[in-house]
Structure 1
Amino acid sequence: MNNLSRRRILQLGAASGALLASRPELGRLAAAQATPAAGPPITIGLLAPVTGVFADFGDLMTKATNLAVEKVNAEGGILGRQLSVIAEDDQGDPAVATERARKLLVQDNVDILMGTVSSATTLAVLPLVNEAQKVFFYPLDGEDKTCLPDGSTNPLVFGLGDTPQQRLVSFVPTIVEQAGGDWYFIGNDYVFPRSVNAVAIDFLNEAGGTVVAEEYVPLGTSDYRPVIDKIANSGATVVFSTTVGTDGVAFTKQAREGGLFDRMTVTGVATFAPEVYSGLQGFAEGVLTADRYSDQIDNEVNAEFVAAFREAYDYQLPIGGTAAACYGAILLWREAATIAGSFDPEPFAKACEGLAMTLPQGDVEIDADNHLLTQHIYLLRIENDTYQIDEDFGEITHPGHEGCSVV
């Protein structure tokens, strides 16, 4: 993106952020009384699990998307067209996600689709996206899902979350150096934890570490005490958790109560996501994790986003990368549509390729070859109800379509 465009976004964002912070009702009024649209509304289909194990993620996705839509509408929309959102609850279930995605794509005929949390639900939706020939952005971290079965890039699919390769390449050797190389891996039994752990094990081996054990439990497990007893007696120096959502909260609480944190370093990804911090609060102090985002990031776009989010929703907990990605997606779409002069799928998707700009998480660029976001990865420490940045590992690009789960 050219510098003039970036300055324009920052200037617009700062002005609207100050206005909404002082008089939030004016933002809603401006959205309602915006300049007459240059065409019919652009309809966004949002698949967000607001019930089920991933409900915390879905709630934040919905809040951030609506906040960004209100902002962009107040500033004239996209190509003069206002935005509207049709949201569906996929419940974190692949069968439900398929049904709800079909409704959005066929019955509602949305212009663009965003959403899903788990890899299983994302993979379930992809065939419908290809059939409908609509652009799809998934905002969550996880393995690459932008490829086609032949290894080429799906022209309609973009991933805003970081991949395990991006998140772990610097994080794993950092933890080995700080806490030792004998690792116990525990995760839920589905695509995401297994793919993350496979990558982590590769990096662990490169760092000279050893896998003490690798164990998976069903999603929805509530009693982790038998597993925690095994970990405590395993001789491991590090436990790396990829238990997710409410499972991760249950694991963390029981590990803290069972004294596991006193015996070894407890770390991981997804388990300690800010999205579930309401459940982790008081149990995850001092944990080191890696992520693409912290609400402590110092840039103007993030300052506006954080202030507007807290004001709109009276939200005082840490804000996570899911919300930042959904908010940032709307800003990316506005810029790409401006470049393309169109929101039609083919020219719009082409304009997304190589697009670079500053979003809440920092400087990003959509890789033109694999449609994944090159972005910063941060070493974060949970401390005093915040995710403090211990280190910025820099902008990291995913290698090709390594580890793509589309078959």
Structure 2
Amino acid sequence: MSTSRTARPAVASARRLVAALLAGVLGAGAAACDGGSEPGRQTIRIGMITALSGSLEAPGSELRDGFQLYLDMRGGQLGGHPAELIVADEGYERDVTVESATKLLEQDRVSAITGIINGGSVAAILPLINENKVPLVGALGRPALTDVTYVWHTNLISVEPGVAMAPFVKQEVGQGRVYAIGPDFQSGRDELRGFVETFTELGGRLANPGGEAVFSPFPVTEDFGPYLDEIAESGAEAVYCFFDAQNAITFVKQYAASAVADLPLYAAGFVTEPASLVEQGDAAEGIYNGLNYSPDLDNAANREFVAAWNAAYPGRVPTSIVMASYDAAAVLDRAIAAAGTNPSPEQINTAIAGLGQLNSPRGPWQFAKTTHAPIQKWYLRQVRRDGRALTNVVVSELATLGG
């Protein structure tokens, strides 16, 4: 069984129970994937860097739990080896991320690193990744990089949500002007750049002063009133935003109570992820948003994934972050199995490059050769009521991006 060095005894006990339940849920299919570890095979250590506290603790826990779910479903193994997940703090400063990566690589001697929320953290640890020749299989977004030899991502490039949503927003507003806003950190700047560049290339017009997106201080902004007043004065006919976790909750609630509440609000899918919807309530209803995953996708891999997640974490809806971290574990599982009896990190990295198409809860996807990020479908979702609860319902496909 895999272990996490951040897990408390009660959590570890719960995971053992979940693993037993999942065996019943998944039946022979999971057993076939497991296959049992062979005698003499070394334990594979995987380092996960993620937010352990603060405003991004919720997506941080989703990264951890998605990866752990995959391990629990396969008897704690990756590629036929016992696996150990070592969780380290990403923090909110570059130095914290670098310190965590240094410990994982030099002291824990991990075979791969995963997780990471802020795209800027990827750039911060890239020299360490290249120096140690250890693959980074990230599970959220990242900026474009010139050297991706050891960098792989199972979720997205940070500009892509905006790129996917821009044509739909342009279609909806016609010649109307749109105000673009997001948080001032690497991923926020990338997310808004993807929207602004694509929207304006399509002939769209921005209502922002100077024709550039506006960024709020991150993570400290709690009062969006001045920004909402500026939107009201700008003559905007719609708003596009990217926020995550607590910022997303705060912005949507204050938007609905502001003078611009009647303007359509379009968003990257992270704005209305399930944990945020619970707090946003009626304020989020009707928001169109774009993302690469929704738990209502109808395919066998997603049905298995959602059933396992619901058994392990009742009451929590699986998100794109959970899915991508689960897929990061799946990538490492297949690569480690293909890399030899006791593979080195460099051999695992070579095996990742040869994986080809992967079957995922989001649908089939594969790594692009130039970016090492997914070639995948993007979906238009809308927040709608399902009984008493709000959920993101897939309306249509937006685009296939990557490559």
TM-score (norm 1): 0.83
Matches within 5 A, 1:392-407: 392-398=397-403
Contact 1:37 1:82 in 2 (8 A): no
Indicate the residue corresponding to 2:217 in structure 1: 218
Partner in structure 2 of residue 227 of structure 1: 227
Separation in 1, partners of 2:23, 2:224? 43
Moved more, 213-222 or 340-349: 340-349
Deviation, structure 1 residue 260:
2.5
**How far apart, in 1, do the equivalents of 2:35 and 2:358 lie?**
29
User: Are residues 266 and 79 of structure 1, via their aligned partners in 2, closer, same or farther at CA, if it must alter by over 3 Å?
Assistant: closer
Match of 1:54 among 53, 56, 68: 56
| Cα shift readout 1:323-382 (whole Å, capped 9, x = no counterpart) | 001111111222223333364223322222252121111111011232111111111111
Aligned equivalent of 1:365: 366
Paired residues for 1:324-343 under 5 Å? 324-341=323-340, 343=343
Native 8 Å contact 1:69 1:84 kept in 2: no
CA contact (8 A) 1:296 1:388 kept: yes
Query: How many Å separate the matches in 2 of 1:309 and 1:112?
Result: 24
Match of 2:93, as an amino acid? D
Count, aligned residues: 372
Written as runs of structure 1 = structure 2, the 5 A alignment for 1:291-330 is 291-316=291-316, 318-330=317-329
1:394 CA drift (Å): 4.5
Matching residue within 57, 67, 70 for 2:69: 67
Unpaired runs of 5+ in structure 1? 1-15, 149-153, 399-407
C-alpha distance in 1 between matches for 2:372 and 2:90: 24
Q: Secondary structure at the match of 1:172?
A: helix
Q: CA deviation at 1:17?
A: 9.7
Say if 1:38 and 1:80, in contact at 8 Å, map to a contact too: no
Q: 1:303 to 1:35 in 2, by over 3 A?
A: same
CA separation of 1:125 and 1:275: change in aligned 2, threshold 3 A: farther
| Pair 1:132 & 2:126 matched | no
3-state SS of 1:271 partner: helix
Equivalent position of 2:6 in the other structure:
none
Aligned to 1:381: 382
For 1:287 and 1:55, how far apart are their aligned partners in 2?
24
**Structure 2 residue ranges without an equivalent (≥5):** 1-17
Whether the 8 Å CA contact 1:293–1:320 is kept in 2: the answer is yes
Change (3 A) 1:63 1:378: same
Q: Are 1:185 and 2:180 an aligned pair?
A: yes
Percent same amino acid at aligned positions? 25
Residues 199 and 32 of structure 1: CA distance in aligned 2, closer, same or farther (over 3 Å): closer
Q: Secondary structure at the match of 1:54?
A: helix
Equivalent residues in 2 for 1:61-100, closer than 5 Å: 61-73=63-75, 77-100=77-100
The verdict on how the C-alpha distance between 1:168 and 1:89 changes in structure 2, with shifts beyond 3 A counting, is same
Structure 1 residues 233, 294: CA separation in 2 closer, same or farther (over 3 Å shift)?
same
Give the distance between the partners of 2:384 and 2:110, measured in 1 at CA.
42
Residues 172-217 of structure 1: per-residue CA shift (max 9 Å, x gap): 1211212344111111112222222222122112222111103111
| Structure 1 pair 17–81 and aligned structure 2 pair: CA distance change class (3 A) | closer
Query: Shift in Å at residue 396 of structure 1?
Result: 1.9
**Alignment TM-score, normalising by the size of structure 2:** 0.84
CA offsets 1:268-287 (integer angstroms, 9 cap, x no match): 22333445334333321110
* Alpha-carbon distance, 1:142 to partner: 4.0
| Secondary structure, aligned partner of 1:393 | strand
- Looking at structure 2, the residues matched to 134 and 332 of structure 1 have their Cα atoms a distance apart, in angstroms, of 14
Give the equivalent residue in structure 2 for 1:261: 261
| Match in the other structure for 1:11 | none
Q: Distance in 1 between matches of 2:216 and 2:130?
A: 32
Aligned-partner Cα distance in 2 for 1:164–1:348: 25
Q: For 1:344 and 1:311, how far apart are their aligned partners in 2?
A: 34
> Per-residue deviation at 1:224?
0.6
Shift of 1:132: 2.1
Instruction: Identify which range, 282-291 or 195-204, moves more after superposition.
Output: 195-204
Q: SS state of the match for residue 156, structure 2?
A: coil
Residue identity matched to 2:238: V
**For residues 278 and 101 of structure 1, do their structure 2 counterparts lie closer, same or farther at Cα, with a shift above 3 Å needed?**
farther
Matched AA of 2:337 = T
**Distance in 1 between the 2:304 and 2:323 partners?**
11
Q: Deviations over 1:219-270 (max 9, x none)?
A: 02001111111112211111111233312211111111225331x1112223
Q: How far 1:35 sits from its partner (Å)?
A: 4.9
**Which amino acid in 2 is paired with 1:217?**
S
Letter in 2 for 1:237: E
**Counterparts in 2 of 1:89 and 1:363: CA distance versus 1, 3 Å:** same
**Post-superposition offset of 1:92:** 3.5
Secondary structure of 2:65's partner? helix
Give the direction of change, closer, same or farther, for the CA distance of 1:373–1:305 in structure 2 (3 Å limit): same
2 CA distance for matches of 1:37 and 1:232?
67
RMSD: 2.9
Residue 203 of structure 2 corresponds to which residue in structure 1? 208
Question: 1:95, CA displacement in angstroms?
Answer: 1.9
Contact 1:291 1:379 (8 Å CA) reproduced: yes
Q: Is the 8 A contact 2:228 2:260 kept in 1?
A: yes
